[in-house]
Every structure is written in C-alpha cells, then in structure tokens.
C-alpha cells in the first residue's frame, strides 16, 4: 500500500538559506532509505515533482536538487540552452551535497543513498557515481545521453547499476548503450540493463513520447532495484 507523502522545500548547500531542492518523504515517524532524484533538462517541473512523490510513497526519502535554481523551461529550445549553460562539475557538487545531507537526516535509515536521473539527469547520475564511489549504494540512470565512458571511468562506479534506455531513442545510438553495457560486464559491475520498446523520455507523462506500459514497468524496476540495494 502506498504511503502518504509530504513535499517540502529544503536548503542543503553550504551557506544557503533559500530553496536548494524539494524533499518528499512518507508521513510519520519512521525512517527510510534515501534517493536523490535528478531532473530532466526542463528543471523541477510537475513530472519530476510527481516522481518524487510516487517514489516517496514506496518508502523512500527523496530529494530533488534544483539545478536551475528556481527556473523551469517551457520549450525544448529553452531547455537546451539551460542544459548547455549548466556547469556539470558544479551540478555534481550540488548532487554530492544532496547525498551528504540525506545521510545525516534522522529520518534516513539505513544510511544508504541511491541516485536516479532522467535524460540530462541520467547523464549526471553516471558522472556523479564516478565521483562519489562508495558513498552511493545504488544508481538508476534513465536514458542519459552523451555518456561515453572509458573502462577506467566505469571502474570508478561502485554502486549497483540499473541502466534503462529506450529502443527507439534518437538521442542515444544503439552502439552507445551497447558500449556501456559491455563495460559494465567487463569490469564486473553489479548491474541490470533494460531497453524499453519505447522512445526517449517514455517515463514523462506530460510529454508526447510518454508510454504508459513502459513507464509502469520502468517504475517497478526502479523501486525494486532501490528496495533491493538500499533497504
């Protein structure tokens, strides 16, 4: 049974007093494992906030960093400009602060944190996992384009990986996802790969490429992966 959820703005960056992200958690006094959820190129728009609430209702404390700091794109051209202007190293710094913030919250137990990201957030999930190593206990990058790791870079990822792609994705060629899957296998990473019979961004129910059946399967795989590795 899904849990009732509270959604609040939080500050977690050093010296910050404003909104650095949005936190969703099950209501009540219990403690739960934690997840950082990373936005698509649009920003913290309704789809991402809804995913935060849905994931929290499954028994997680979920934090979505606001990487655009209050701004949300309405059109693809605007979203692309914002993504290109984003300093990726700075974004990963914010993600690292989000992980550290979750690990010391009294409502997070065990002290385990996973990361899930979508589109741009999928790419950032991969890169954050390279940097954060054993600070993460599971990751789930969904259709994160532009990620072309070396064997050494994949080897830096300690967390079990649920890698989700779309079969008909013009942003991510088949050879790109096969390259990553091969490196995960070659380096002995704990991993699972699912290629959905859908298009890019099939999880986003506010966009034309939404695929209800694949989104349902993707969410079930996501929650199962995190329950397995974070609980």
Assess contact for 122 and 142: CB atoms under 8 A: yes
Assess contact for 149 and 180: CB atoms under 8 A: yes
Bridge partners (DSSP) listed for residue 7: 24
Distance, in Å, from the CA atom of 52 to the CA atom of 23, rounded to the nearest integer, reads 8
CB-neighbour burial class of residue 27 (10 A; exposed 0-12, middle 13-18, buried 19+): exposed
Catalytic site residue 89? no
Q: Single out the catalytic residue among 47, 123, 191, 200.
A: 200
Q: Single out the catalytic residue among 52, 169, 191, 211.
A: 169
Residues 6+ apart with CB under 8 A from 208: none
Assess contact for 131 and 216: CB atoms under 8 A: no
Q: Where are the beta strands (DSSP E) in 42-190?
A: 61-65, 108-118, 138-142, 161-168
Catalytic site residue 205? no
Distance, in Å, from the CA atom of 132 to the CA atom of 128, rounded to the nearest integer, reads 6
Q: Single out the catalytic residue among 20, 97, 119, 211.
A: 119
Distance, in Å, from the CA atom of 192 to the CA atom of 93, rounded to the nearest integer, reads 27
Catalytic site residue 50? no
Q: Which of 6, 32, 12 is nearest to 230 (CA)?
A: 32
β-pairing, 61-65 vs 21-26, is: antiparallel
Quote the DSSP letter at residue 133: G
Catalytic residues: 119, 169, 200
């Amino acid at each position: 049974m899904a849990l009732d959820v509270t959604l609040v703005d939080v500050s977690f960056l050093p010296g910050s007093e404003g909104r650095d992200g949005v936190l969703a958690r099950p209501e009540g006094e219990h403690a739960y494992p934690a997840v950082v959820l990373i936005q698509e190129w649009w920003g913290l728009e309704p789809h991402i906030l809804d995913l935060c609430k849905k994931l929290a209702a499954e028994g997680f404390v979920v934090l979505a960093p606001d990487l655009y700091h209050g701004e949300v794109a309405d059109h693809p051209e605007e979203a692309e400009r914002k993504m290109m202007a984003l300093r990726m190293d700075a974004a990963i710094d914010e993600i690292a602060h989000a992980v550290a913030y979750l690990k010391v919250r009294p409502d997070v137990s065990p002290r385990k944190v996973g990361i899930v990201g979508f589109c741009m957030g999928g790419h950032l999930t991969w890169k954050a996992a390279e940097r954060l190593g054993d600070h993460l206990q599971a990751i789930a990058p969904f259709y994160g384009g532009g990620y072309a790791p070396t064997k050494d870079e994949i080897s830096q990822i300690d967390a079990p990986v649920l890698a989700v792609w779309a079969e008909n994705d013009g942003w991510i060629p088949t050879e790109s996802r096969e390259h990553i899957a091969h490196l995960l296998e070659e380096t002995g990473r704990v991993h699972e790969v699912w290629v959905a019979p859908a298009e890019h961004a099939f999880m986003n129910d506010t966009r034309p490429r939404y695929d209800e059946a694949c989104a349902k399967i993707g969410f079930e795989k996501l929650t199962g992966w995190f329950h397995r590795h974070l609980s």
